[in-house]
Structure 1
């Protein structure tokens, strides 16, 4: 073997270095984020062959452009039609923002409104804590469906939670209700072929979002559909952080307690959820549904809650969720509370938090003490020292796994959704968030945040600085790869 290497190495090594040269030139020409480029260069340096393979499979923007360029054009064309036909332009911003209680968040509202996310007031919003509250509400709404049921999930499992819903969906098909289901090709890898056959045989239209060929290598593959969306008859919607999996119901089957947040929506804001589902349905099925009044019905007075639903993803022109977080943090006058399972912020988000804290805005961050990914957890911990130095309070949730993704600004703004505060959610995954501008709803989320603090350990700055050198080194190394996680 050694003799063979001596024979072929004079040929292979120059070829390898030529390949590296062209990879670096390609990165430079793409003018990509310097932090991400530095991470890939570090990967190429530390893992000479494996790093090149990882870049070729996951790091090339050409793949992203090839997959999503046409879809971006379709999104815009369909979006313009959706706004013109089914959203009254006078309702996009129901009152002059500068003359209303919404004035504090004018930049957030106007920014999202330009990204196919109109603001509406005719909404009723219910906050659902954990799967114990979500799943019964979903089952009730599905039972009452009359025309269509649309579901789009990162994880849909054939278990004690997914099975009853699947059976109910098959029953609704027999009643003449159209059922369409999108599951992510990686998140829902656990679904067997027999499940797809059963659903299709029963009349449920089910598709995988970007199915994968090599499951063993897909735990962090790019461009996943991380959204959680349900739309029923165009009237009722569900969205947030909770997948269809029995780990979320905390019934003792799984050893880990899962803390999460979801929303039940009713009213005009559901139209945006429907719009987002129809875009992805066209992508996975190549079926263009006629967007008529069955999917975008008129509403009588439903409620008085101001809300916006916004999406982001590799097919979206703007990194709108990240930018909306930035605008919301900068709008804070007194306090910002953040709960997220993965905290690997971009430089702009980190700067906004630190700058706000230095301006005497009280910042509180809640993250899990233990994560489901050790490398992501280590990278997250590397940011804590700077946060503490700026006066930001950090709480480590230790009752179980904190999967909730909520931001609250002062007492009158909140974001609840599927997007984590990390590079993957901001840049690679398809995400969806709901923005609430209703004090009563925000106060519920604040009360839940305060209650969750009882299950946390607040990080002490002195003890944190005095942790072991190997632990700090591990975190620092993982942080260098943060833009790729």
Structure 2
């Protein structure tokens, strides 16, 4: 056969195959996907069809399997029924809040089934070891159960006290349950030793989102459970940004660079603890099939018990309890290692609402919460996020706040631990600085891993969620919305610790960035849209 004919035939077939792939992509990819993400996928498939198709087949779905989503919906329905049976669904309507804030509370409950509740207390912990020690001390008081859920769990010098407290609890007859993210925990070099220790001390543990295709457990492998939760006897809870691992994450690469993580956790008491526990119970049921809600002391029916909104404080009013001076901070030199240190006392009389989010839900619960609060702000918006790769809606909300005359600040790390994310984050600095956002850089070798923000002087959010596309769409997260001027005053001291430790990035300085670096920033920004 003529070689020219074969060559032409091969080219023709290649063109037809490529055209078929592109047409299929144009039909399939845009369904239920944001335009920017759809365009990024289509561009990749047009330029590199083979690579693009394989990647899409592996990580193209942003939702968990239908069975998991259905189970989450069923659990939410149970919680919603019990909340309504206890007459707690009118909490938001009864409150003397600004109308916009009532709507945020209502939105959160509509999306997650978890109501807001009054009568809560909270403490802030910015010291890495102190927060782990505080959790261990609380476990030592447990009489019935301890629930532990972390993205990363490791048995090392930093966490030995926590593991020892779990061992003592088990020895007293306390049931200790632990959930750990499968991929992230197994990635650690000491994972086998960690699991062996859990087995030795008698902890009942399970993986979250295991990637075990031969056992029928599989979903997009980078859909992870990123939550950090500890609940003791349904009376005390901890949540925030910190994982159960050494401050350098037991990573040779991090140790070589001298990297240390800076975190912020909160200790909670009051009716909100039942909501935190409900998040754990939901994850435990989904992962193990073990329904604990029939046990009275674990029942989500307790959610919202305690004070209702009637007689509560309004945003802007003092929430009672501790004053703004409850946090103790060191000198600016010491602030880099422990910004805002550890809370000395509780902030009381707080309204709190837990907002879980993730690919098990139909929409991005955390993104909707963040956007609603930023648009409701009237004076200031102060954001802290280690991985800041916002979507268009978030960028517009933040820059619109500046254009409304608000004070807007963003705290991020001066250096990054993840090359692609760090460069994608930097690609937003020009637009933010030009809009009037003040950007503060937390100094090397620390990674500012805290995840929180405050609105005006009376509303704050703290939890596990970054302000990036991964946390909005791909990770299971949990956030806590707090209404209380005393709590926000405490967070203001944490923020001041960040300022004292770091420095402000100006527009003039940023415009002197070398072209090579800004080119990488833009390139990584394009890849971040592939979700």
**TM-score normalised by length of structure 2:** 0.82
Deviation, 1:91, is 7.2
Equivalent residue for 2:159? Answer: 162
| Aligned counterparts of 1:249 and 1:422: Cα–Cα separation in 2 | 21
Whether the 8 Å CA contact 1:310–1:432 is kept in 2: the answer is yes
Worse overlay, 307-316 or 392-401: 392-401
Deviation, 1:73, is 2.8
Equivalent residue for 1:360? Answer: 405
Matches within 5 A, 1:38-117: 38-61=39-62, 64-84=64-84, 88-89=87-88, 92-93=91-92, 96-97=94-95, 99-100=96-97, 105-115=101-111, 116-117=113-114
Matches within 5 A, 1:265-280: 265-280=268-283
| Aligned counterparts of 1:279 and 1:336: Cα–Cα separation in 2 | 32
**Any idea what the Cα deviations from partners look like across 1:460-485, whole Å, max 9, x if unmatched?**
21232232222222111111122237
**Any idea what the Cα deviations from partners look like across 1:388-417, whole Å, max 9, x if unmatched?**
111111112114111011111111111001
SS of equivalent residue, structure 1 residue 40: helix
Equivalent residue for 2:286? Answer: 283
Equivalent residue for 2:259? Answer: 256
SS of equivalent residue, structure 1 residue 462: helix
| Aligned counterparts of 2:172 and 2:243: Cα–Cα separation in 1 | 26
Q: Is 1:236 the counterpart of 2:236 in the alignment? A: yes
Worse overlay, 399-408 or 475-484: 475-484
1:333 to 348, 355, 378: 378
**Any idea what the Cα deviations from partners look like across 1:12-53, whole Å, max 9, x if unmatched?**
77556544543332113x241111111112322444322221
| Aligned counterparts of 2:9 and 2:442: Cα–Cα separation in 1 | 54
Whether the 8 Å CA contact 1:131–1:248 is kept in 2: the answer is no
SS of equivalent residue, structure 1 residue 316: coil
**Any idea what the Cα deviations from partners look like across 1:400-436, whole Å, max 9, x if unmatched?**
1110111111111110010000111111110001111
Whether the 8 Å CA contact 2:226–2:477 is kept in 1: the answer is yes
Q: Is 1:119 the counterpart of 2:120 in the alignment? A: no
Whether the 8 Å CA contact 2:412–2:440 is kept in 1: the answer is yes
| Aligned counterparts of 1:8 and 1:225: Cα–Cα separation in 2 | 49
Deviation, 1:355, is 1.0
Matches within 5 A, 1:139-288: 139-189=136-186, 190=188, 192-200=191-199, 202-212=201-211, 221-247=221-247, 254=255, 255-288=258-291
**Any idea what the Cα deviations from partners look like across 1:201-246, whole Å, max 9, x if unmatched?**
54321111122359xxx9x943200000111111110000000111
Deviation, 1:456, is 2.1
Whether the 8 Å CA contact 2:439–2:504 is kept in 1: the answer is yes
Equivalent residue for 2:426? Answer: 381
Equivalent residue for 1:37? Answer: 38
Whether the 8 Å CA contact 2:433–2:439 is kept in 1: the answer is yes
SS of equivalent residue, structure 1 residue 208: strand
Deviation, 1:84, is 4.0
Q: Is 1:425 the counterpart of 2:421 in the alignment? A: no
| Aligned counterparts of 1:76 and 1:339: Cα–Cα separation in 2 | 30
Specify every segment of 5 or more residues in structure 2 that has no aligned partner in the other structure, as ranges: 308-345
SS of equivalent residue, structure 2 residue 287: helix
Deviation, 1:346, is 1.4
- After superposition, the Cα gap between the structure-2 partners of 1:169 and 1:138, relative to the gap in structure 1 and judged at 3 Å, is same
| Aligned counterparts of 2:8 and 2:198: Cα–Cα separation in 1 | 56
| Aligned counterparts of 2:158 and 2:84: Cα–Cα separation in 1 | 39
Deviation, 1:118, is 1.0
| Aligned counterparts of 1:233 and 1:24: Cα–Cα separation in 2 | 52
| Aligned counterparts of 1:201 and 1:12: Cα–Cα separation in 2 | 58
Whether the 8 Å CA contact 1:130–1:258 is kept in 2: the answer is no
**Count of residues paired in the alignment:** 470
1:26 to 25, 28, 33: 28
**TM-score normalised by length of structure 1:** 0.89
| Aligned counterparts of 1:194 and 1:134: Cα–Cα separation in 2 | 23
Equivalent residue for 2:440? Answer: 395
Deviation, 1:89, is 1.2
Whether the 8 Å CA contact 2:123–2:266 is kept in 1: the answer is yes
SS of equivalent residue, structure 1 residue 380: helix
Deviation, 1:172, is 1.6
Whether the 8 Å CA contact 1:82–1:275 is kept in 2: the answer is no
Q: Is 1:437 the counterpart of 2:489 in the alignment? A: no
Specify every segment of 5 or more residues in structure 1 that has no aligned partner in the other structure, as ranges: none
Deviation, 1:167, is 3.2
Equivalent residue for 2:325? Answer: none
Equivalent residue for 2:321? Answer: none
Whether the 8 Å CA contact 1:20–1:52 is kept in 2: the answer is no
Whether the 8 Å CA contact 2:125–2:264 is kept in 1: the answer is yes
SS of equivalent residue, structure 2 residue 128: helix
| Aligned counterparts of 2:44 and 2:230: Cα–Cα separation in 1 | 39
| Aligned counterparts of 1:300 and 1:461: Cα–Cα separation in 2 | 49
Worse overlay, 195-204 or 163-172: 195-204
Deviation, 1:288, is 1.3
Whether the 8 Å CA contact 2:146–2:175 is kept in 1: the answer is yes
| Aligned counterparts of 1:8 and 1:203: Cα–Cα separation in 2 | 66
SS of equivalent residue, structure 1 residue 173: helix
